[in-house]
Amino acid sequence: MNKLGVIGFVMGVFCLIGLVSWAPADREVLSRKNPGRTASTSIGDKPVAKAVKGPRVTPDSLLRQADRLASWKSYGRAIEIYTQLLEDTDRRLTSAQRNNALSGLAFAYKQAGDLNKAERTYRILLDANPNPDPKWVLSFAQALSGNGKLAEGQEQYDRYLKLKEAVITQRASEQPIMVGDQGKRNESVKYRLEYLALNTRNEEFSPAFYRDGLVYVAGSKGGSTIETTGSGGGSGYLDLFYVPNRNQLKVAEVINADGSTTKGQNDRVKSTKRNGVDDYTRPTANDSRTVMSYDGGINISEGLGYDARPKNPAQRFSQSLNTRYHEGPATFYQDGSRVIFTRNNFNGGRARKSTEGVNKLKLYTAVQQNGEWMNIEELPFNSDEYSVGHPSLGRDPNGNPDRLLFFASDMPGGFGGSDIYVSRWENGNWSKPVNLGATVNTKGNELFPSVDEMGNLYFASDGLKGLGGLDIFYASMAGTTVRSVDHLDAPINSAQDDFGLIAKGDRQSGYFSSNRRDGNDDIYRFVRESSMYNCRNLTLRIYDTDTDQPLDSVQVDIKARGEGRPDQQVFTDRNGLLKLCLEADNDFMFTASKDAYISSTIGFTTRFLTDDQPSRLEMALAKPTMLIDTLDDPTSASANQINLNASRVRGVIRSQKDKKPIEGVLVKLRNDCNGQILSTTTGPDGSYVFNLVEGCDYTLIATKEQYGTNTSKIKKLPKKSKPKEVSADLRMLGLGEIVPIDEIHFDLDKVSLRQESQRELDKLVATLRRYPSMVIEIRSHTDSRGDAAYNKTLSSRRAQSVATYIVSKGISRKRIVANGYGESLLLNNCTDGIICTEAEHQRNRRTEFKVLAIK
């Protein structure tokens, strides 16, 4: 049993304890009955409440109603509806609907504190699904643990971990399909920078969000804030400072996206001396320091060192956090109740040094009580021998906040310099740190990690290719797995040091630090003025109009407006989804086609879209109405009609190609009133005859090996009418037959279909729908005029034009082979050198179809 599994298992038990504590209130809800509305029934051996049937509603609408009640914590009423769905045999649930009902029912039982029923329902759900949703397995494990089945609960939790890792790996590979011009997607994102008035001639850097304000690091001038060369030195110290309302920050200067500058709200603030004012001031020369002077400089490989000497600080963040040593950067828990911050190796009134005499950096945590930060403690992975700093808290893969801690360290075993590490909050403590790997870390220095609420990671590096000094990079993350790393464009990055970026998930705005101005570290606010990705995320869902179920493997042809945008052909996944990233400022057409469905076309534009929120489109595909010949009116049989003792149907089965009678056809007549079937086999004349009963519809079916089955409907004859004879001749398509398509002609040297040709092709589409297993070859021909090789190409294009039209009507492309024969199969003697009329040449410009396979 691995360590992660044990820890997750224990956490699951804790969650269940929390649920049981409030379960009785909802158990009371479960026991309520509404007289006249419910009746007692059972699922298995346990009594439940089942709603008495009322007006019939669809399963999907009941599922939505139950889900809505569960979201409102009305678990008793939700359980009633879920149970009604599962036990109502009149409603036939699809597999997806049954899974949704079972998972909803199990969840409602679990939330209501009835863990026995939750366990049993989850068993039913998981037994029916070999590849379950990981969340089902996790909930099942928690239910088992709450019921005292600890060993089985651990097995299910281990299963959950494996399934979750597989899902993360799959999602990491599911990148949107890029559509449109590749060049436009490489354009830089446009940002406006605001130089904040809080900056002084000292150092201000590494901001962090705290409530409505900013907490940042500040100190006096003393070289670069981040020592990357090891040549710095000085005796200054850094503290944490606080701006309570960041929305009221004044702007000294605006740097526009085009590089121009405009004056901000006020001039740059000059530092003011505050020594000797109160407890928030720096110690004076009369105070005794116990920390080293840092005169030898602080090398990053030794301690992520700050090479800054604050002299005239502004108001500090907290007296209890700020000491005579370096403090900051910091990160805060989501509710603001706890902080993790960087400080020199000093706690409990005592400073410690490494064996080399260096005072390293460590991470500390403190809790806020009555406005004061108290109970300062070290994190477990600190060391006197290496530095740990620059913390940032993030969510775990399940969305739980403050469960991941990213930080920088020069601990042994890294790639060189300082690296980015991550630790998990497990079993009430931070786990052993894990290096993020070579995708992020280099032989240089990686510093100042920051994670937004969506799990995106920002960090600074001088080892990855950038514009100079420290540059800010963005890492796309799947939990703690790095998917990719991208360099942020100018003006966020510059030729100087740029670091300490914080932003929300949409990166619409944020803050970062840079020493690009006069060599000082200053804080800038950025505001994005263009799309972040230069393409628009679009999810396309395609579903069946009648069932509302998703359609997989739907072919989607994408056309983008403009020159140089090639058409693309993609397919939906098993959930009927297609994830695209569309070129900005363009128009698109999507044509969806699938066998046995009518194709559908829809347009979408990315013009005038200023936000980066993903879009969603839904396309419904409808099945065509199956065409079955219906024989309405009885046809008089002249002299024989008057001698009839009973009504009957008579006909001849002929070949579709040459209209000749077909011998040996099995003809069946099914009475649609009672299901009785009569059958006969045609002789050499291809004829058959059956007696009919007035007042009943009939279905006529003709089958023969190597021919396609033909089906027709015979409408009922009126009761008490005189005996009549119905004539029903049928045509059958045979394997290998070549059937001309009437009036499918093309203009000279043209490939586009005429309007009258489309009407004729609709008849072929109806034939293909009648024979759903039939595969045909579209054969296109030209006349003899012109070059033979060109005519071959022209006829191939014409065949493709016909095939494209048929596919647009919902016929699968797999059922169609398109070939052009040029002038090789002329129907007359109009070859080269022979003078013929235009009508004679037109006869050769024809289209046929050949039956390649049929049942």
Quick: pLDDT tens for 357-384.
888 889 999 998 887 889 999 999 999 8
344/304 Cα distance (integer angstroms)? 11
Nearby residues of 317 by Cβ (< 8 Å), 6 or more positions away: 215, 239, 240, 241, 242
- Amino acid 749: pLDDT: 65
Burial 402-421 (b: 16+ CB within 10 A, else e): bbbbbbbbbbeebbebbbbb
DSSP designation for 836: -
Q: What is the mean pLDDT of residues 684-708?
A: 89
Q: What is the mean pLDDT of residues 277-306?
A: 33
Q: What is the mean pLDDT of residues 516-524?
A: 89
Confidence check: pLDDT of 712 > 70: yes
801/803 Cα distance (integer angstroms)? 5
Nearby residues of 112 by Cβ (< 8 Å), 6 or more positions away: 23, 26, 27, 29, 30, 75, 76, 79
Confidence check: pLDDT of 172 > 70: no
SS3 string, 378-433, reads: ECCCCCCCCCEEEEEEECCCCCCCCCEEEEEECCCCCCCCCEEEEEEEECCEECCC
- Look at residues 439, 458, 478 and name the one whose alpha carbon lies nearest to residue 390: 458
Positions of CATH 1.25.40.10 in the chain: 3-173
369 membership: H or E segment, kind and range: strand 361-369
528/191 Cα distance (integer angstroms)? 4
Q: What is the mean pLDDT of residues 464-491?
A: 87
Beta carbons of 87 and 121 less than 8 angstroms apart: no
Tell me if the pTM is above 0.85: no
- Amino acid 663: pLDDT: 92
- Amino acid 659: pLDDT: 84
> With bands split at pLDDT 50, 70 and 90, how would you rate the model's confidence at 477?
confident
Per-residue tokens: 509: 């705005």
* Long-range pairs, 151-159, Cβ under 8 A, ≥24: 153/9, 153/12, 154/1, 154/5, 154/6, 154/9, 157/5, 157/8, 157/9, 157/12, 158/1, 158/2, 158/5
The CATH number of 191-284+300-528 is 2.120.10
Q: What are the pLDDT digits (tens) for 190-226?
A: 889 999 999 988 889 999 999 888 999 988 643 333 3
Q: What are the pLDDT digits (tens) for 106-160?
A: 999 988 888 999 999 999 999 988 888 888 888 898 888 888 888 888 888 888 8
107/590 Cα distance (integer angstroms)? 39
Q: What is the mean pLDDT of residues 262-275?
A: 51
What is the three-class DSSP state of 452? coil
- Amino acid 119: pLDDT: 93
Positions of CATH 2.60.40.10 in the chain: 629-732
> With bands split at pLDDT 50, 70 and 90, how would you rate the model's confidence at 175?
low
167 membership: H or E segment, kind and range: helix 150-173
Beta carbons of 362 and 388 less than 8 angstroms apart: yes
Per-residue tokens: 774: 């039939």
Confidence check: pLDDT of 805 > 60: yes
- Top-confidence range, 370-384, 575-589, 706-720, 829-843: 370-384
How many CB atoms lie under 10 A from the CB of residue 428? 9
> With bands split at pLDDT 50, 70 and 90, how would you rate the model's confidence at 747?
low
Catalogue the E-assigned strands of 44-151.
46-51
93/538 Cα distance (integer angstroms)? 31
Paired sense of beta strands 535-544 and 615-621, if any = parallel
- Look at residues 844, 842, 848 and name the one whose alpha carbon lies nearest to residue 828: 844
- Amino acid 564: pLDDT: 66
558/843 Cα distance (integer angstroms)? 37
Beta carbons of 206 and 216 less than 8 angstroms apart: yes
How far is the CA of 510 from the CAs of 191, 209, 823, in angstroms? 11, 10, 69
- Amino acid 106: pLDDT: 92
Confidence check: pLDDT of 9 > 50: no
> With bands split at pLDDT 50, 70 and 90, how would you rate the model's confidence at 745?
low
- Look at residues 624, 625, 605, 623 and name the one whose alpha carbon lies nearest to residue 615: 605
- Amino acid 420: pLDDT: 96
Share of the chain above pLDDT 90, in %: 20
Q: What is the mean pLDDT of residues 333-345?
A: 90
Cα atoms found within 13 Å of the Cα of residue 375, Cβ hemisphere only: 8
Nearby residues of 234 by Cβ (< 8 Å), 6 or more positions away: 222, 223, 294, 295, 307, 308, 309
- Amino acid 43: pLDDT: 34
- Amino acid 637: pLDDT: 42
Task: Tell me the CATH class for 3-173.
Answer: mainly alpha
> With bands split at pLDDT 50, 70 and 90, how would you rate the model's confidence at 469?
confident
Q: For the chain, give the mean pLDDT.
A: 77
Longest distance between any two alpha carbons in the chain, whole Å = 135
Positions of CATH 2.60.40.1120 in the chain: 535-621
Q: Which amino acid is at 190?
A: K
- Amino acid 794: pLDDT: 86
Q: What is the mean pLDDT of residues 264-276?
A: 44
Confidence check: pLDDT of 674 > 60: yes
- Amino acid 228: pLDDT: 31
Per-residue tokens: 779: 């054969």
- Amino acid 664: pLDDT: 92
The CATH number of 629-732 is 2.60.40.10
DSSP designation for 633: S
- Look at residues 596, 595, 609, 511 and name the one whose alpha carbon lies nearest to residue 555: 595
Of 358 and 304, the one with more pLDDT: 358
Write the DSSP string, 92-115: ---HHHHHHHHHHHHHHHHHTT-H
Q: What is the mean pLDDT of residues 714-721?
A: 82
Share of the chain above pLDDT 70, in %: 77
Q: Which architecture characterizes domain 738-853 according to CATH?
A: 2-Layer Sandwich (3.30)
Q: What are the pLDDT digits (tens) for 614-656?
A: 788 888 888 775 545 555 544 444 434 456 788 888 999 998 8
SS3 string, 238-293, reads: CEEEEECCHHHCCEEEEECCCCCEEECCCCCCCCCCCCCCCCCCCCCCCCCCCCCC
Q: In which residue are the tokens 């001088």 written?
A: 462
Pick the CATH number of 535-621 from 3.40.50.720, 1.10.3720.10, 3.40.50.300, 2.60.40.1120: 2.60.40.1120
Nearby residues of 359 by Cβ (< 8 Å), 6 or more positions away: 291, 292, 303, 325, 344, 345, 346, 351, 352, 353
- Amino acid 611: pLDDT: 60
Per-residue tokens: 758: 């489309």
Beta-bridge partners for 340: 331, 365
Q: What is the mean pLDDT of residues 431-443?
A: 93
702/710 Cα distance (integer angstroms)? 5
